[in-house]
Structure 1
Amino acid sequence: MSFLSIEHLTKSYGTHQVVQRFDLDVQPGEFVSFLGPSGCGKTTTLRMIAGFETATSGAIRIEGRDVTHLPPNARNVGMVFQNYALFPNMTVAGNVAFGLKVAKASGEATRARVAEMLGIVKLDHLADRYPYQISGGQQQRVALARALATSPKLLLLDEPLSALDAKVRLALRDELKALQRTLGITTVFVTHDQEEALSMSDRIVVMSEGRIEQLGTPFEIYNRPKTRFVASFIGTLNILNVEVVDAQSGAIRIDGQEARVGRQIMAAAGSAGCAVALRPEAVTLHDPGNGGNRIRGTIADVAFLGAVVRVKVEIGGSRILLDRFNSPGLPPPLPGESVTLHFSPDDLVPLEAA
Structure 2
Amino acid sequence: MPFLALANIKKSFGQTQVVHDFNMAIEKGEFISFLGPSGCGKTTILRMIAGFEQPSGGTIHIAGQDQTRLKPNQRNIGMVFQAYALFPNMTVFENVAFGLKVAGMPKAEIEKRVKEMLKLIHLEHLADRYPYQMSGGQQQRVALARALAPKPQVLLLDEPLSALDAKIRVSLREEIRQIQRQLGITTVFVTHDQEEALSISDRIVVMNAGRADQIGTPSDIYNRPTTRFVASFVGTLNIIEATIVDPAAGTVMIGDQTIALRESIADKTGGETISLALRPEAGSLSESAKGDTALTGKVVSANFLGSVVRTRIAVGKNTVSFDMFNSPDLIMPAPDEVVTLRFSAGDLLVIRD
Q: Same fold (TM over 0.5)?
A: yes
* Structure 1 position 49, deviation (Å): 0.3
Supply the AA of the counterpart residue of 2:59: A
Hey, what's the Cα distance between the residues in 1 that align with 2:15 and 2:295? 49
Q: Is the Cα–Cα contact under 8 Å of residues 157 and 188 in structure 1 kept in the other structure?
A: yes
**Residues 210 and 291 (structure 1), Cα distance of their counterparts in 2 relative to 1, 3 Å cut:** closer
The aligned residue for residue 231 of structure 1 is 231
Supply the AA of the counterpart residue of 1:202: D
1:19-168 aligned at under 5 Å gives the runs 19-168=19-168
Supply the AA of the counterpart residue of 1:246: D
1:299-314 aligned at under 5 Å gives the runs 299-314=299-314
Structure 1 range deviating more: 336-345 or 141-150: 336-345
* Structure 1 position 148, deviation (Å): 0.1
The aligned residue for residue 186 of structure 1 is 186
Q: Is the Cα–Cα contact under 8 Å of residues 36 and 208 in structure 2 kept in the other structure?
A: yes
* Structure 1 position 246, deviation (Å): 2.2
Q: Percent identity?
A: 58
Structure 1 range deviating more: 326-335 or 226-235: 326-335
Hey, what's the Cα distance between the residues in 2 that align with 1:46 and 1:344? 40
Hey, what's the Cα distance between the residues in 1 that align with 2:263 and 2:351? 14
Q: Report the TM-score, using the length of structure 1 for normalisation.
A: 0.96
* Structure 1 position 295, deviation (Å): 1.3
Q: Is the Cα–Cα contact under 8 Å of residues 253 and 259 in structure 2 kept in the other structure?
A: yes
The aligned residue for residue 298 of structure 2 is 298
Supply the AA of the counterpart residue of 1:207: M
* Structure 1 position 241, deviation (Å): 1.2
**Residues 178 and 291 (structure 1), Cα distance of their counterparts in 2 relative to 1, 3 Å cut:** closer
**Residues 32 and 270 (structure 1), Cα distance of their counterparts in 2 relative to 1, 3 Å cut:** farther
Supply the AA of the counterpart residue of 1:132: Y
Q: Is the Cα–Cα contact under 8 Å of residues 291 and 342 in structure 2 kept in the other structure?
A: no
Consecutive unaligned residues of structure 2, counting only runs of 5 or more, are none
- Structure 2 SS opposite 1:274: strand
The aligned residue for residue 323 of structure 1 is 323
Structure 1 range deviating more: 83-92 or 272-281: 272-281
The aligned residue for residue 283 of structure 2 is 283
* Structure 1 position 289, deviation (Å): 5.9
Hey, what's the Cα distance between the residues in 2 that align with 1:181 and 1:30? 9
**Residues 285 and 11 (structure 1), Cα distance of their counterparts in 2 relative to 1, 3 Å cut:** same
Correspondence 1:341 to 2:334: no
Q: Is the Cα–Cα contact under 8 Å of residues 312 and 320 in structure 1 kept in the other structure?
A: yes
Q: Is the Cα–Cα contact under 8 Å of residues 248 and 263 in structure 1 kept in the other structure?
A: no
**Residues 290 and 171 (structure 1), Cα distance of their counterparts in 2 relative to 1, 3 Å cut:** closer
Hey, what's the Cα distance between the residues in 2 that align with 1:224 and 1:247? 21
Q: Is the Cα–Cα contact under 8 Å of residues 206 and 230 in structure 2 kept in the other structure?
A: yes
Hey, what's the Cα distance between the residues in 2 that align with 1:65 and 1:285? 57
Supply the AA of the counterpart residue of 1:178: Q
| Number of residues of Structure 1 aligned to a counterpart in Structure 2 | 351
Q: Is the Cα–Cα contact under 8 Å of residues 273 and 351 in structure 1 kept in the other structure?
A: no
Q: Is the Cα–Cα contact under 8 Å of residues 289 and 342 in structure 2 kept in the other structure?
A: no
- Structure 1 SS opposite 2:44: helix
Hey, what's the Cα distance between the residues in 2 that align with 1:167 and 1:289? 35
The aligned residue for residue 213 of structure 2 is 213
1:166-177 aligned at under 5 Å gives the runs 166-177=166-177
* Structure 1 position 311, deviation (Å): 0.4
Q: Is the Cα–Cα contact under 8 Å of residues 249 and 263 in structure 1 kept in the other structure?
A: no
Hey, what's the Cα distance between the residues in 2 that align with 1:220 and 1:205? 11
Hey, what's the Cα distance between the residues in 1 that align with 2:240 and 2:184? 42
Q: Is the Cα–Cα contact under 8 Å of residues 273 and 352 in structure 1 kept in the other structure?
A: no
Hey, what's the Cα distance between the residues in 2 that align with 1:156 and 1:341? 44
Q: Is the Cα–Cα contact under 8 Å of residues 121 and 141 in structure 2 kept in the other structure?
A: yes
CA offsets, 1:259-300, max 9 Å, x none? 121135x46x86897111100000111234656222111111
* Structure 1 position 177, deviation (Å): 0.6
Hey, what's the Cα distance between the residues in 2 that align with 1:45 and 1:191? 12
Hey, what's the Cα distance between the residues in 1 that align with 2:261 and 2:145? 50
Hey, what's the Cα distance between the residues in 2 that align with 1:32 and 1:291? 35
